[in-house]
Amino acid sequence: MKIVRRLLDGLVQYKTTEPHELTDKFYKSDGIKAIDIRNTTHEVIEGIELPLDYRNGIFAYNDGAWTVFNQELLDKILADELETLLASQKQNQFFELQKTDWYIIRNVETGVEVPAEILEEREAIREKY
């Protein structure tokens, strides 16, 4: 992996595995052309292993060590991702329970007992999420 690192403070602004061009006028790679990134203000470092939670513009890389550069932004991104994950799980639970909802409706409307294995399955779905 290659990173594009700002020399002033080590902020990593891009990551890429693609060929790149860094000149005194621009940086170009992955279909991006950034005129505010130049070889006088940034460098490309190759062979870097990214942190598992890497995001552009969040981490700095200095002297072989990663640090969080913008904790507030990282916290917001992670909170948004958690919210999306929880909404997705809730939707998955809804769809899984929906398959056996008819047993519950039949029970309410007619009094026919819901089989124990269906109740156990529904409880397992609720516990799963």
The domains of the chain are located at 2-69, 72-128
- Helix 116-128 vs helix 71-98: angle between axes, to the nearest 10 degrees? 170
Task: Say what the pLDDT of residue 47 is.
Answer: 94
Q: Is 76:34 a contact under the CB 8 Å cutoff?
A: no
pTM listed for this prediction = 0.61
For the four alpha carbons of 91, 97, 98 and 101, in that order, the dihedral sign comes to negative
Per-residue pLDDT of 7-57, as tens digits, reads 999 999 999 999 999 999 999 998 889 999 999 999 999 999 999 888 888
Q: What digits encode the pLDDT tens for the residues 64-89? A: 999 999 999 989 988 999 999 999 99
What is the pLDDT, as a whole number, of residue 129?
84
Q: Does residue 111 register a pLDDT over 90?
A: yes
